[in-house]
Structure 1
């Protein structure tokens, strides 16, 4: 694992380690992860539950 990852990659890794349980149905996704998109002044982290399709988002403004 590279020590030169961006702060956004490190935050996504933190979400992947700790926040893979759906708040809607309680399903714990062992193989999933958060998707990351950016649009200039915002970075959005998104998790879609494979069981119930609920969407969880976290957004950072730059």
Structure 2
């Protein structure tokens, strides 16, 4: 097993294992994934539903 690169990568993978259902329309997106961006003291995880284009965002402040 290959070790993960960072705690942020592990959290993104956790979201992809458990959080692929859209909160707006309920669509379960098996092909989608969470995008990770950083800006200084914040890490933002974002999921865009491929069915209704709703955006789900989670943010961590460091």
The TM-score bracket by the shorter chain reads over 0.9
Q: TM-score with structure 2 length normalisation?
A: 0.95
Structure 1 residues not aligned, in runs of 5+: none
Task: Note the aligned Cα RMSD (angstroms).
Answer: 0.9
TM-score by length of 1: 0.95
Gap runs ≥5 in structure 2: none
Distance 2:11 2:47 in 1: 13
The number of residue pairs the alignment matches comes to 62
Runs of 4+ in 1 over 6 A off after TM superposition: none
Which digits, 9 at most, give the CA deviation of each residue in 1:4-60, with x for residues without a partner?
A: 420000000000000000010000000110000000100000000000000000000
